[in-house]
Each structure stands twice: as structure tokens, then as C-alpha cells.
Amino acid sequence: MGLTNSSTGIRAVDSGLEIRRQTPEDRVVALAGNPNVGKSTVFNGLTGLNQHTGNWPGKTVASAQGFCATRRHSYVMVDIPGTYSLMAHSAEEEVARNFICFGEPDAVVVVCDATCLERNLNLVLQTMEISSRVLVCVNLLDEAKRKGIQIDLEALSERLGVPVVGAVARKKQSLGHLMSELDRLIDEKTETHPLRVRYLRPIEDAIGIMEPLLRERFGERINPRWLSLRLLDAEPSLMEELKIHLGRDPLDDPEISAAVLRARDALAVEGITGANIKDKIVSCLVLTAEDLCLDTVTCKRNGYNTFDRRIDRILTSRWAGYPIMLLLLALVFWLTITGANIPSRLLADLLFRFQDTLTGLFLRLGAPDWLHGMLVLGAYRVLAWVVSVMLPPMAIFFPLFTLLEDSGYLPRIAYNLDKPFKKCSACGKQALTMCMGFGCNAAGIVGCRIIDSPRERLIAMITNNFVPCNGRFPMLIAMISIFFAGAAGGAFASLLSALMLTGFILLGIFATFAVSKLLSVTVLKGVPSSFTLELPPYRRPQIGRVIVRSIFDRTLFVLGRAAAVAAPAGLLLWLLANMTVGGQSLLAHCAGFLDPFARLLGLDGVILTAFLLGLPANEIVLPIIIMSYLSQGSILELESLTELYELLSANGWTWVTAVSVMLFSLMHWPCSTTLITIRRETGSLKWAAVSFLIPTLTGFLLCFLFANTARLLF
Amino acid sequence: MNTNRSLRDMAPGQTATIRALLSTGSIRRRLLDIGLVENTEVECVGRSPCGDPSAFLIRGAVIAIRSEDCGSILICS
């Protein structure tokens, strides 16, 4: 799942399977498919929505819905998480399975990857066991063609007994055919005769014992053949869902449970037991898929072509793997810092000039001082700061990151880092959730659903905050440019900044490993669980779309959220700074109270207050600090970083303070959105509290050690 | 010929055929789902910089598997 309006924050947690129809006639269509086959691209192409896409498995972890209409019907399309089979393993796969099995969609479109059709057919076959209204969309035909793979779609459709359409989802027009076939399917103009997988004779016999009875009991509500198979292998989580869906436990019916027992006995005679029945079922599915492909797919080379091999040999090589990761990280930061410098200054100039205009306007209208103070000096000024400091770096960072995401590099990071994570008894996929954390920690938390083991998922959630989100980047960058890189000057300055920032990120990553290890030997004891990770083919990112998507989808959204918090926070802050009790402002009281403790950490009361007030969004911490100092009256205007340096020094800041602030920014409580997301995802207040405490205590400890060592040494 | 050869014994570039799957629990189902049944051909295509996990080409897709899990996937070559 990417970082979009609907995927971040509170709304990130899917609210089950509630379908929102616009009219009662709307048909519900599920988009299913293996992970990373371009389901989200198909979904976007059809609905015009911008569900975030990227080249890595597990990006969609919650279902998304959108509308699309043809001349005949209007549809609610449901983009469900990618899944290899309907015998679910992880939380996200359960979402997919439950929707196909029990969501009663009017049709299911199974999106397949043409470059590895055989494995995709496994899911198609399983879906066809549940529903006969299945449409197969073979996507990525262009990629397949490049790899010398040819698919006879007509023959495939003939064999499967359901309509099959080809598509290149990145090219929108290729989806027209899909929609017309969907119309025909819904109108029942296409007759479907879904291919029935023939299982081993003993299994077929066992099905024969149960199927007539189940058909009699449940009629058309549920496919009796499918239900027979499921009752035989008795997957616990599916049994629970069945109970809910059918309104009763089918095994409570004595006749059914007797039939199940008889069927199991018959199987046992043939050597098929509860332990191996699933293997036998899956083998039959896989072999059927293999057989289908023999007749319909011709390929000159296998899927993993020489080009991918060559790139992988470099990017995951023993010697170059890690250095390249580091270089890429530093390069992204360098481009961000260098590129953001000038636009940031221009924006600040523009916005603060407008502040003067506003002030002029208020004066001319004869507005009272407090109103001007609250709205202009409070709300507007903080807003202006947030926009000018945040917008340029984000507008550069997000497209760069999206490029990496689209290319398929992210899973390689997880691949490279799996061993260290395993050493910490965690999962390599945690690296993917950390990458998402760079965008937004709340999105990273939701992304943790791609991790199968609950223990490892918790570790990933608790440590996600050690990766600074975009709300904290600008603060880190500002600190570095003001206190460290400024002296270097020129191009060297931004290089130095990028290197320092990379260093800080590495520190965060190191903390992630250390805390993961600590957790897995204490409260979350356990051994690393098994793990498979798909390395998708490299794809050339669509640069134009990357830029548009990441700016509109991510940058403006995140900025909007920051602004929504910044303006009221500025207002509140102005009030705090200007309402006096006993001759001192409330802010000064608060800062004064926290000051002794903050000093221990190398901070001061104002900074700690700012971090506390910044709980709703980290973006506003720096503006709050600046506002507080300004309201204490040392400098009244602030238009550039040099002046900021003067302001901060005048308030007693040294490089030690700057580093402490950066450390604390990297390691303190997660923002409220993230905390609420953790609470929702874990279903427990306890783990949200742990996620609050662990980074906070780590930060306290580190700041304390750093500040006091520095004081002793310098 | 060693009869207990597993995916762990494969070096990048080698191909083999799956003989038996000894894994249990959720990883077993996961491996079956990605098509790793008996007689499937696999090719080891790479190894992570730390030596673990390794990447295998399985039915057209590249899948990384940890060495512990590789140990219980028996092959004949």
C-alpha cells in the first residue's frame, strides 16, 4: 500500500468488507490476483482513482473501492490484496480470501501476470471453484512479449471455460475489452463452464460422499464441491468465517458431520490424512495449471531474463550490494537537499512578503491587535514556515522514492537485508515496511501486514518509528544545513548535508536492529519464522506518471495534512505565548517547567514543549520552536536560514543542541496518527503504549549520553 | 550420489528437480502455493550479499528462500 489520502492515518485501517454502492443497481466486482501483477494499475485504469502502484509484492494490504461505468452497467470495483491462493496464510491474504469466498461479488476478475501465467492459474482455478462468474485478465502482455512469451488467449479461454482477455494495464485503452467482456459476463451473454479440477480418485470419492448433502442443505448459497473440500482440510480460520457466513457451524448438523467423518475414513484407507490432504489438493491444482500452460503458452526463454539477472548480479552482489544501497540512499538525499535549497528560499521570500501584505491589510481595516496576532503572526506564519520548509524537499524526495519503488528495487533491499533481520529474529520484509515509513510511519505500520508472523509483525510496528518520516526530514535537513553544512559552502555543503543525513538514517536503522533484537530476546521472544520473498522483474518506471502521481498523491496530500495541523497549532501557540498568568506567558510556564529535564537531554524547555505540542504532526515541531523564541521577543522577523541561525544561537543553541534535537527527532514518540494506527492494527492499547515508550526511552537515553559526553569533552 | 541433497546445496546457476517437501506448517503451504510441488524444476539464480537467503527461479518467478527452509526442500539433480 502506498501513501495516499485513503491509505494514511485513520482511514488506512480497512473497515472490513463494507461495500459502498452508489445505486442499488451497482454490480460488485472483485479484482483478485497474485501479488504484484498490476491489479492496482488495472483498478486505477478502470476507476480513474489513484490507488498507489509500485513494483513490489504486498503493496495493497487493504481493499480499495472505486466506481466505473460502461454503457450497460455501473460497477463497484474492489481492489483486494494480492494472494497466491485462497488458502490464506497472512492477515492481508485473509482479507482477499474472505472477500472472494463470502463477499458475494457479482463477478471476480482475476488479474494474471503473463510472464508467469502458470503460477497465476493456481489462483484462477481456486476462484473458479467458488464462483462461475470469473473473468481472467492476462496483464503485462507487453512484458511477456519482450521476454519471448506468447499466450494463446483463445485456447486458454476454451480450456478454462471462462472469458479471458489480454491487457497492458499501463495503457488504459487496452482495458476497454475487459469492460465489454465484463458486461457480457454480467448480462449472462457469455456462457461459462468453469474447468473443474480433477483431484485424485480418493478425494473425488470423498467429495462424492459430501457434495449431495451439502447441496441440499445450502443450495446456491455456497458451492457444495468447494465446501466439501474445505470441510475435509478444515482450516481453522476458514471454518470460523464459514460459521459467520452461513450463520451456523455446518458441523453442528449431525448428518453433515457424519458425512465428513465417513469421507475422512474413506480417505484414510487410501493413505490420505488431515496432514497431507492439502498437499494433494494443491498438487492437483498446480499440475492442472501446468497442463493448461503446456497447451497455451509458448516461450523461448524462461521468465527471469538475462537483463534482470545481470542487474541482480550487481545490485545483490557480495561486494557491491550494500555499498550500492548506501550510495542510492545518499544520492536521494543529496538530490533532495540540493534541489530543495533554492525553491525553499524563494517560497519563504514569497510567503513572508505576503505576510507583510496581510499585516498591512489588517492595519487598514483597523483590526484589533489580538486578531492580527492570532491569525497572521500565529496561524499564517506557522503555515508559511511549514510550506516553505516542507514542500520543496517533499516534491523532490517523493518522486525519487517512487522511481525506486516502480523499478522493483525495494524487494532487493529486503533480500539484501534479510540476514541481518534474521539475526535479530525478525523478518526481511521489515525492510519494506521501513521504506514505507520514510513516507509516513502510519502507512508503514499498515504495511506491516505483509509480514506473516504476528511476532515479527509486532516488532516491525514497534520499531517503524526509528525511520524518520517526511514530517521529520525537513527538520533534520534544516539542522544540518544551519549548524554543519553552512560553513562548508557551495556544492560541498549539500554533499556534506547528504552524508550527515545518511549517517543519521543509518543510526535509525541501527536502532531498529538493536531494538528488534532486544524485543525478540525479551517481551517478544521467538525464533525467526520461515520466509519467502518474491523478487519481481525490473520494470522501467513511467517517469511522467511517477512525477504526477507522487506530487499530487503524496506531496500535496501530506502537505495538506501538515497545513491542516499547522494553522490551528500556530493559533494555539500564539495564544499560549500571549496569555499570561502571573506575569509570564503560558508557554514560558510550560517551557520553564520542562526546562531542567530537557537540559539533561541537551535540549531546552521550549524544544521539549515543541515536541510535545507536535504530537499530532511532526512537521510543526520546528515552526513551534521558532515561534516560541520569536514570541519571547529576541528577533521579530525571520526570512532566511542565516537569520534562523542567529535566532537559535541567541537562545543558547550550539552544535550540541542541534545534534540532540536531531537525535530526539529521530527517536521520540510516534505522532498521534501512527499511535492510533498501531492501536487499531494490533487491537491492543498495550502495544500502542509500548510503541510510544520504546522510541521515547531510546531517545532519552541517547540524548542524555550524547549531551553529557559532549559537555564533558568540549 | 547423496540422496539428501536439498535446495541449500545448490549453487547459483545450478538447476534441479524437487524430490520432496519436508517443511511443515505455514511455510509448507506457502511453498506449495508458489508451485513448489514434486517434480518441479528449480534453478538457483543468486544469493544475498550475506550468503542467505538464496533466490530461486520457480515456475517463472524469482523467489527468495532462507537457508533453514531450503534445507527441508529435497532435490534430485
Model confidence over A121-134: pLDDT tens digits?
999 999 999 888 99
Q: How confident is the model at residue B3 (pLDDT cuts 50, 70, 90)?
A: low
Q: Mind listing the pLDDT tens digit for each residue in A530-560? A: 888 989 888 888 777 777 777 776 777 777 8
pLDDT of residue A147: 82
Is A426 strand, coil or helix?
coil
* pLDDT value at A196 more than 60: yes
Reported as a pLDDT band with limits 50, 70 and 90, residue A166 is very high
* Whether pLDDT at A1 is above 80: no
pLDDT tens across B49-58, in order? Answer: 998 899 999 9
CA distance A546 to A113: 22
Interstrand relation of A134-139 and A164-166 (parallel, antiparallel or unpaired): parallel
* Res A330: pLDDT: 92
pLDDT given for residue A635 in this prediction? 43
Asked if A317 and B45 come within 8 Å (Cβ–Cβ), the reply is no
| Range of lowest pLDDT (A3-12, A29-38, A142-151, A659-668) | A3-12
A304/B contact by beta carbon, under 8 A: yes
CB distance A116–B21 less than 8 Å?
no
pLDDT band, residue A51 (cuts 50/70/90): low
CA distance B62 to A417: 17
Asked if the model's pLDDT at residue A119 lies above 50, the reply is yes
State the helix-helix crossing angle for A277-296 and A201-218, rounded to 10 degrees.
100
A483: amino acid identity, one letter: F
Cell, residue A539: 520494470
pLDDT at B65: 95
- The Cα A593–Cα A155 span in angstroms is 77
The C-alpha atoms of residue B18 and residue A410 are separated, in whole angstroms, by 29
Q: How much is the pLDDT for A634?
A: 41
CB A136 within 8 A of CB A165: yes
CA atoms within 13 A on the CB side of A330: 16
Report the pLDDT value the prediction gives residue B63, as an integer from 0 to 100. 93
Condensed to tens digits (0 to 9), the pLDDT of residues A250-263 reads 889 999 999 999 99
pLDDT of res. A339: 86
Residues of chain A above pLDDT 70, percent? 91
pLDDT single digits (tens) A594-639: 999 999 999 999 999 999 988 888 888 888 888 788 776 544 455 6
Q: At what angle do helices A381-407 and A556-578 cross, to 10 degrees?
A: 150
Higher pLDDT, A521 or A104: A521
Is B68 touching A (CB cutoff 8 A)?
A: yes
* Nearest-neighbour CA in chain B from A99: distance (Å): 19
Q: What is the DSSP string of A126-191?
A: HHHHH-S-EEEEEE-HHHHHHTTEEE-HHHHHHHHTS-EEE--TTSGGGGHHHHHHHHHHHTT-S-
| A468, pLDDT greater than 90 | yes
pLDDT confidence of residue B2:
56
Under 8 Å between Cβ of A418 and A531 = yes
pLDDT score of A98 more than 90: no
pLDDT for A304: 57
Contact across the interface for A420 and B48, Cβ inside 8 Å: no
In this predicted structure, what is the pLDDT of residue A10? 32
Question: Is A539 part of the contact surface with chain B (CB cutoff 8 Å)?
Answer: no
Q: Is the pLDDT of residue A670 over 60?
A: yes
Q: Using a CB–CB cutoff of 8 Å, tell me whether B9 touches chain A.
A: no
- Split at pLDDT 50, 70, 90, the class of A11 is very low
3-state secondary structure of A552: helix
Query: Contact B31/A532, CB-based, under 8 Å?
Result: yes
| Three-state secondary structure readout of A623-680 | HHHHHHHHHCCCCCCCCCHHHHHHHHHHCCCCHHHHHHHHHHHHCCCCCHHHHHHHHH
- Model confidence at A9, pLDDT cuts 50, 70, 90, reads very low
* ipTM confidence: 0.95
With a cut of 50, say whether residue A13 has pLDDT above it.
no
From the centroid of its chain, how far is CA A133?
31
Average pLDDT of the residues in A634-653 = 74
Measure the CA–CA gap between A2 and A49, rounded to whole angstroms. Answer: 13
Distance CA A154, CA A193 (A): 15
Q: Tell me the CB-side half-sphere exposure of residue A640, using CA atoms within 13 A.
A: 6
What confidence score (pLDDT) does residue A161 get?
94
Sign of CA dihedral A114, A120, A125, A131: negative
Task: Report how far apart, in Å, the C-alpha atoms of A594 and of each of A306, A391, A453, A634, B10 are.
Answer: 61, 31, 41, 21, 60
Instruction: Between A152 and A397, name the one with better pLDDT.
Output: A152
Whole-number pLDDT of residue A617? 82
What does each C-alpha distance from A291 to A287, B17, B24 come to in angstroms?
6, 17, 27
A629 vs A644: CA distance, rounded Å? 10
Exposed / middle / buried, residue A510 (Cβ in 10 Å: 0-12, 13-18, 19+): exposed
Distance, CA of A635 to CA of A169 (rounded, Å): 56
pLDDT over threshold 50, residue A155: yes
Interval A574-585 mean pLDDT: 83
> CB–CB of B35 and A119 under 8 A?
yes
Task: Confirm if A439 and A602 have CB atoms less than 8 A apart.
Answer: no
Using a 10 angstrom Cβ sphere, with 0-12 exposed, 13-18 middle and 19 or more buried, the burial of residue A188 is: exposed
CB A416 within 8 A of CB A322: yes
CA distance A311 to chain B (A): 11
A interface mutation test: which of B8, B66, B70 has the most A CBs within 10 A? B66
CA atoms within 13 A on the CB side of A704: 9
pLDDT of residue A64: 77
How far is A701 from A697, CA to CA, in rounded Å? Answer: 6
Which helix (H) or strand (E) is A298 found in, with range?
Answer: strand A297-299
Minimum-distance CB partner of B65 among A303, A309, A532 = A532
Whether A303 has its CB under 8 Å from any CB of chain B: the answer is yes
Q: What's the full length of chain A, in residues?
A: 714
Nearest to A543 by CA among A407, A652, A702: A407
The pLDDT tens digits for A332-377 are: 989 988 888 788 888 888 988 898 899 999 999 988 888 888 888 8
pLDDT of the residue at A460: 96
Sign of the C-alpha dihedral computed for residues A671, A674, A676 and A678 taken in this order:
negative
- Model confidence band, residue A301 (pLDDT cutoffs 50, 70, 90): low
The yes-or-no verdict on residue A237 having pLDDT over 70 is: yes
What confidence score (pLDDT) does residue A200 get? 92
pLDDT at A669 over 60: yes
A307 touching B (Cβ < 8 Å): no
For residue A14, pLDDT over 80 is answered with: no
Which triple of cell numbers denotes residue A270? 487410501
Instruction: Identify whether the C-beta of residue A35 lies closer than 8 Å to the C-beta of residue A82.
Output: yes
Domains and CATH numbers, chain B: 7-76 (2.30.30.90)
- Does the pLDDT value for residue A63 go beyond 90? no
Q: What is the DSSP letter of B6?
A: B
Inter-chain contact B59–A118, Cβ cutoff 8 Å? yes
pLDDT at A50 (0 to 100): 59
| Beta bridge partner(s), residue A299 | A149
Q: Residue B29: which of A117, A278, A536 has the nearest Cβ?
A: A278
Three-state DSSP string of A428-486:
CCHHHHHHHHHHCHHHHHHHHHHCCCHHHHHHHHHHHHHCCCCCCHHHHHHHHHHHHHC
Q: Kindly report which listed range (A425-434, A498-507, B18-27) carries the lowest average pLDDT score.
A: B18-27
Mean pLDDT of chain A: 85
Name the band, by pLDDT with cuts 50, 70 and 90, for residue A188: confident
Can you tell me the distance from the alpha carbon of A51 to that of A40, in angstroms, rounded to the nearest whole number? Answer: 6
Helix (H) or strand (E) holding A416: helix A410-423
- With a CB cutoff of 8 Å and minimum separation 6, the contacts of A599 are none
